[in-house]
Amino acid sequence: MGERVIVLGAGVAGLTAAHELIERGFEVTVYERRDIAGGKARSFPATITRMDPEGRLTREGSCLPAEHGFRFFPGFYRHVFDTMTRIPLSDGSGRHVINNRHDTQTLLLLQHDPGKPIIYPTQLWRLNALRTWRPRIMGPHLFRTNAGMSVADVWFFTRLVLRLLKSCPERRFAEYESQGWWEFSQAGHRDERYQGVMRAMTRLLVAARADELSVRTGGYIMLALGRAIVNWRGHRPKVLNGPTNKAWITPWCEYLEHKDVKFEFNTSVEGLRMSDGRIDEVIVSRNGQTCHDKAPWYVAALPFESMKKIVDECPGLEQADEQLGGLKDLKDRWMNGIMIYLRKDQKLVHGHTIYIDSPWALTSISQAAFWPGYDLADISKRQVRGILSIDISNWDDDGELIKKPAKECSSEEVFTEVCDQIRRHLEGTPYDGLFKPENIYGWCLDPDIRHPNPTHEFNLEPLLINTPCSWKSRPPAVTAVKNLFLAGDYVRTYTDLATMEAANESARRAVNGILKGSGSREKPCQVWPLAESLVLAPFRWLDRRSLRASASAEAWDWARRQLAELEQKEL
């Protein structure tokens, strides 16, 4: 066994770091404050809130699953899928976690007016029959007709997309990083239907809001989503075929423990101590007792709000690496889930549903439709047969029924308002019977939301959002502190969005830093940029020449440095 590494946090980033390190001969200890791994990707037994006919609330423990938010694996993911291919299942089948994925087939957009459901395929070229070819290839026409966008709006947006596609990577940093998506799309100067579509386009990303997102992040993630839809060899967006921990996290931990990774659960990271530009030890607490641990190398795979606190309380960190001070300038938002348990399963479509006009920016998926072999009725003693998993992406605007923001609402009020917003979208559609009160068994709001509200600290896991110019405030995985490396969805990556993919990629970059710093001869972890269209490569070459001639030397040099950092190269 090689040198020891301490990994702080057992979310996707921490587990990825432990995986890559243990397979390269390092000794690994992982500290995690919860009693289970998975971080924001975890699932757990639900505590279900129910309302009796007299309006009294009861809370009951259950074996039914709950999640921080539904899992979504877009077509452009590569890092997470590569890791999944290397996690064996323990059932003796010879299969791996990668086999626990399930394709989605359709995307449903619902709106108040005109109220007609808009259904799109998640991949154009995988046809069930020849007769489906025409309506799929005519997607832009259907989008214009059903979404209510004018011909002028569709043509205007098409030109924006082409502009992004033809732009060189340097322009994305020199120009688009400082520009907001709302400004770039000129949504503020167009009608409400156009604005609704711009919001809907970012909704599945969850970690994004159209009125706050940078063009560089939002534009190119959405292009990656679109390219996966039209790519002949690409794959459909996927979900897991069971609750996240059962289908992914638990087999992962079992594999790592088999490889001798040591997990220390129920252990909180209290701080770091350093001297001479190096971390000397980590301070952790368990059951009210504080202890210290030392290792040659440290990977901080903590949420950025936790890392920000550690930097604040250890001044030497910011002195050693001024980029760590930029954490205080990053913005986060509440983006959490609520699970609604149904007596009868009535799925909407075989995929995700976006409620375009919902003030709280709701997106949902029918979990039971993707969990074959996971008998909800048997688990619940025939009480529950369906689960609608709903992500709430806007906690700051007033609801339609309860006239206050979600973050100021009780659990009951959040449930009541979510049901009302969904019912308004289902009215007049074939799905309007889904949310009848008699069909609802109960609900489980993400336990990260703590009451009383509103106080920021009562959401234990807010999510980073990529605002314009925020790249400069985000640190790379390799810090100036000689033995400290960062892994998390806030770290600079090709993915550049607070997702499982970014967390995984950042951990690979952190491990590569340790390999280089330790002089290891092990093969570095692979990282992949977002795919680009080869057909448009000549246009990007021309755009690079145009930018080089027009941009200031400072802007050009800065953009080149960012790209070199991502490519793990020296200029």
Of 4-13, 141-150, 320-329, the one with minimum mean pLDDT is 141-150
For residue 272 the two structure tokens come to 């770091």
179 and 214 housed in the same domain: yes
CB 47 within 8 A of CB 62: yes
The yes-or-no verdict on residue 137 having pLDDT over 60 is no
281 and 354 housed in the same domain: no
Average pLDDT of the segment spanning 468-486? 95
375 and 417 housed in the same domain: yes
pLDDT band per the 50, 70, 90 thresholds, residue 138: very low
Of 14-18, 129-133, 214-218, 451-455, the one with minimum mean pLDDT is 129-133
Point out the domain boundary residue: 458, 492, 527. 458
Please give the tally of structural domains in the chain: 3
The yes-or-no verdict on residue 415 having pLDDT over 90 is yes
Q: Is residue 128 part of a domain?
A: no
309 and 384 housed in the same domain: no
Of 46-60, 248-262, 340-354, the one with minimum mean pLDDT is 46-60
For residue 431 the two structure tokens come to 């799905």
d(CA 485, CA 338): 34
Domain that includes residue 314, residue range: 4-35+265-331+468-518
449 and 395 housed in the same domain: yes
What integer pLDDT is reported at residue 1 of this predicted model?
59
Encode burial over 287-307: b for 16+ CB neighbours within 10 A, e otherwise.
eeeeeeeebbbbbbbbbbbbb
Q: Is residue 99 part of a domain?
A: no
For residue 232 the two structure tokens come to 């002949």
User: β-strand 351-355 against 106-110: which pairing, if any?
Assistant: parallel
What integer pLDDT is reported at residue 182 of this predicted model?
86
The yes-or-no verdict on residue 234 having pLDDT over 60 is no
Local structure of residue 501 (DSSP, 8 states): H
324 and 341 housed in the same domain: no
Q: Is residue 82 part of a domain?
A: no
Can you tell me which residue has the tokens 């089948």?
A: 93
345 and 317 housed in the same domain: no
> pTM of whole model > 0.75?
yes
303 and 379 housed in the same domain: no
What integer pLDDT is reported at residue 136 of this predicted model?
43
Encode burial over 452-463: b for 16+ CB neighbours within 10 A, e otherwise.
ebbeeeebbbbb
d(CA 274, CA 263): 24
The yes-or-no verdict on residue 43 having pLDDT over 60 is yes
Q: Count other Cβ atoms within 10 Å, centred on residue 433.
A: 11
d(CA 182, CA 110): 22
What integer pLDDT is reported at residue 144 of this predicted model?
47
204 and 152 housed in the same domain: yes
70 and 170 housed in the same domain: no
pLDDT band per the 50, 70, 90 thresholds, residue 131: very low
Q: Is residue 489 part of a domain?
A: yes
Q: Is residue 259 part of a domain?
A: no
Alpha helices in 110-150 (DSSP H): 133-137, 139-147
What integer pLDDT is reported at residue 145 of this predicted model?
46
Of 219-223, 424-428, 511-515, the one with minimum mean pLDDT is 219-223
> CA-CA-CA-CA torsion for 318, 319, 323, 327, nearest 10 degrees?
20
User: β-strand 27-31 against 262-264: which pairing, if any?
Assistant: parallel
Task: Find, among 533, 531, 516, the residue nearest to 568 by Cα.
Answer: 516
Point out the domain boundary residue: 458, 481, 510. 458
216 and 312 housed in the same domain: no
CB 24 within 8 A of CB 515: yes
d(CA 15, CA 259): 13
d(CA 68, CA 3): 35
Strands (E), 42-194: 43-51, 57-67, 101-103, 106-110, 118-121
What integer pLDDT is reported at residue 229 of this predicted model?
65
∠ CA 315-321-327, nearest 5°, is: 75
Task: Find, among 511, 372, 365, 385, the residue nearest to 22 by Cα.
Answer: 511
Per residue in 159-173, pLDDT (tens digit) is 888 899 899 999 999
Alpha helices in 105-214 (DSSP H): 133-137, 139-147, 151-165, 169-174, 181-184, 192-203
CB 362 within 8 A of CB 96: no
Of 88-97, 196-205, 256-265, the one with minimum mean pLDDT is 196-205
Q: What residues pair up with 140 in beta bridges, in sequence order?
A: none
Of 87-91, 189-193, 317-321, 479-483, the one with minimum mean pLDDT is 189-193
d(CA 11, CA 18): 11
Per residue in 273-297, pLDDT (tens digit) is 999 999 999 999 998 899 999 999 9
| 3-state DSSP assignment of residue 331 | strand
Of 57-61, 133-137, 231-235, the one with minimum mean pLDDT is 133-137
Q: Is residue 420 part of a domain?
A: yes
Q: Is residue 114 part of a domain?
A: no
Per residue in 447-476, pLDDT (tens digit) is 888 766 544 446 677 778 888 999 999 999
Q: What residues pair up with 405 in beta bridges, in sequence order?
A: 398
What integer pLDDT is reported at residue 228 of this predicted model?
67
Can you tell me which residue has the tokens 């939301």?
A: 449
CB 483 within 8 A of CB 489: no
Task: Find, among 564, 547, 554, the residue nearest to 176 by Cα.
Answer: 547
C-alpha distances (whole Å) from 48 to each of 408, 442, 446, 517, 557 are: 21, 6, 11, 48, 55
Spatial neighbors of 282 by CB under 8 A, at least 6 apart, are: 6, 8, 31, 269, 271, 272, 273, 292, 293, 294, 298
Of 22-31, 281-290, 367-376, 388-397, the one with minimum mean pLDDT is 367-376
What integer pLDDT is reported at residue 457 of this predicted model?
41
Q: CATH no. for residue 514?
A: 3.50.50.60
Q: Is residue 110 part of a domain?
A: no
The yes-or-no verdict on residue 202 having pLDDT over 70 is no
pLDDT band per the 50, 70, 90 thresholds, residue 231: low
What integer pLDDT is reported at residue 253 of this predicted model?
97
C-alpha 100: how far from chain center:
19
192 and 223 housed in the same domain: yes
The yes-or-no verdict on residue 205 having pLDDT over 80 is no
Per residue in 292-330, pLDDT (tens digit) is 999 999 999 999 889 999 999 988 899 999 999 999 998
Residue with the bigger pLDDT between 81 and 146: it is 81
Give the rounded percent of residues in the chain with a pLDDT score beyond 90: 52
- Torsion-angle region of 115 (φ positive above 0: left; ψ -120 to 50: alpha; else: beta): left
What integer pLDDT is reported at residue 436 of this predicted model?
84
Per residue in 491-504, pLDDT (tens digit) is 999 999 889 999 99
Q: Count other Cβ atoms within 10 Å, centred on residue 52.
A: 8
Average pLDDT of the segment spanning 128-149? 46
Average pLDDT of the segment spanning 514-529? 95
User: What is the torsional sign of CA 47, 98, 251, 6?
Assistant: negative
Q: What's the mean per-residue pLDDT of the chain?
A: 86
User: β-strand 106-110 against 27-31: which pairing, if any?
Assistant: unpaired
CB 274 within 8 A of CB 48: no
The full 3-state SS of 529-543, as one line of letters, equals: CCCCCHHHHHHHHHH
C-alpha 168: how far from chain center:
26
Point out the domain boundary residue: 436, 458, 480. 458
